[in-house]
Amino acid sequence: MANLYARQQGEGKPLILIHGFPLHQAVWNDFASRFVNSFKVITIDLPGFGKSAILPHPFSLDQVADQLNYYLSDEGIINGTVIGHSLGGYVALAMIKKRPDLFSAVGLFHSTAYADSPEKKESRNKVLEFVEKNGPLPFATNFISPLFAYPGNPEIERVRRIASESSKDAIIGYTMAMRDRPDQTKTLKTFEKPTLFLAGDKDAGIPLETIRAQAAICQRPEIHILPDVAHMGMYEKPDEAASKIIGFLSKI
């Protein structure tokens, strides 16, 4: 079992927030504060990011999901809602595929169940080449601004600082794991509990039509599109994003 760092705040039904790439759990700090009065909020550093030990290379997102499920089981955290941002959504889907009994609902926050397209796989390969040649810092810091709808957003610098802490091993390991992850649409189809899709209307990486198509195959879907948001809704429209999540949680 990996040595995972997690932060638990508040009391109530568990809400597990899983960060994206190449970040760590501190990316949720301000956003998580909107839930702690009503929920037990758990934010976890994925293995290799923040204060969590990395898995041996090469590793898969299934292996990452196992570590998080072990942590939740060991902590007695059951019947929670797991919401994953981007990479975190890929991990969340792997978690519910392996242990649906641990969760009462799942949320994809700027994420998708689809595997990488051939074009996206090639883009991942270019990231690997760039990081091998230039190191992690130029990639991690330059990666952030395009995730926001507006390049002047003052929160970009805060997220850059978090991304700048990523190691070369973590960036390479997760880039490979994301590139090679399987399609998880069957997981969406078979998951019997509520499924939230929270998307941005300016997210170039995840077209809205793909989100609507995925929601259509779920048994209990809920979908919300955040206006003037790209890939970082927790920073671009935090109050609106939190309101949608709280509304979703209130129905479970």
pLDDT tens across 211-228, in order? 999 999 999 999 999 999
Look at residue 3 in the predicted model and tell me its pLDDT: 83
Residues 91 and 82: their CA atoms lie apart, in Å, by 10
Look at residue 2 in the predicted model and tell me its pLDDT: 56
Look at residue 24 in the predicted model and tell me its pLDDT: 98
User: Burial, 133: exposed, middle or buried (Cβ in 10 Å; 0-12, 13-18, 19+)?
Assistant: exposed
Look at residue 1 in the predicted model and tell me its pLDDT: 53
Mean pLDDT rounded to a whole number for the chain: 97
pTM of the model: 0.98
Which H/E stretch holds residue 221? Answer: strand 221-226
Look at residue 95 in the predicted model and tell me its pLDDT: 98
Q: Which CATH number fits domain 6-116+182-250: 3.30.360.10, 3.40.309.10, 3.40.50.1820, 3.40.50.720?
A: 3.40.50.1820
Residues 106 and 93: their CA atoms lie apart, in Å, by 8
The residues facing 14 across adjacent strands are 40
Which sign does the torsion angle of CA 192, 2, 55, 40 carry? positive
Tell me what percent of the residues of the chain surpass a pLDDT of 90: 98
At 141-187, the pLDDT tens digits run: 899 999 999 999 999 999 999 999 999 999 999 999 999 999 999 99
Q: Rounded to 5, what percent of the chain is helix, strand, coil? A: 45, 15, 40
Over residues 115-130, the mean pLDDT reads 98
